[in-house]
Amino acid sequence: MGRRIGRKRIEEQQVLIATTPVHQQQYRTNRDSLIPIHKLICQLESQGVISRTRSPFNSPIWPVRKSSGEWRLTVDNCGLNEVTPLLSAAVPDVLELQYELESKTAKWYATIDIAFFSVP
């Protein structure tokens, strides 16, 4: 756990919340995960990835053991997702885009699906 955590610098997003704060109780966690997860949280905080807050919102964490034996910290945002309005992104018309590409002199083109890593 001594390595630095990767961090992508992106523009802060403003997401409208259409409800009162969502506060979910913390799940019961495995006793073996408590110390490693506490260390991971301290590491993330010291590296500026996370910070302490007094927000009325709370989403429970769920520690998951990796195949290497280390612990991964996951957050259950299901309650928050239920009350967050959907963001709409401008998605191109795929058929129109394909027609445009075929009419050009390009010999090759590729598509890449980065759905999980995209930020609207």
Residue pLDDT, tens place only, 19-76 = 788 999 999 988 999 999 999 999 999 998 899 999 899 999 999 999 999 999 999 9
Does residue 60 lie in a domain region?
Answer: yes
Distance CA 59, CA 80 (A): 7
- For the chain, the distance separating the N- and C-terminal CA atoms, rounded to the nearest angstrom, is 31
Does residue 102 lie in a domain region?
Answer: no
Determine the Cα angle at 107 with ends 113 and 89, to 5°: 30
Q: Are 80 and 37 in contact (CB under 8 A)?
A: no
pTM listed for this prediction = 0.60
Place of tokens 């009325």: 56
Please state the domain count of the chain. Answer: 1
Does residue 4 lie in a domain region?
Answer: no
Q: Please give the residue range of the domain that contains residue 38.
A: 31-85
Three-class secondary structure of residue 100 per DSSP: helix
Does residue 42 lie in a domain region?
Answer: yes
Distance CA 90, CA 69 (A): 42
Report which of residues 76 and 6 the model is more confident about: 76
Does residue 115 lie in a domain region?
Answer: no
Does residue 53 lie in a domain region?
Answer: yes
Does residue 35 lie in a domain region?
Answer: yes
Distance CA 30, CA 21 (A): 27
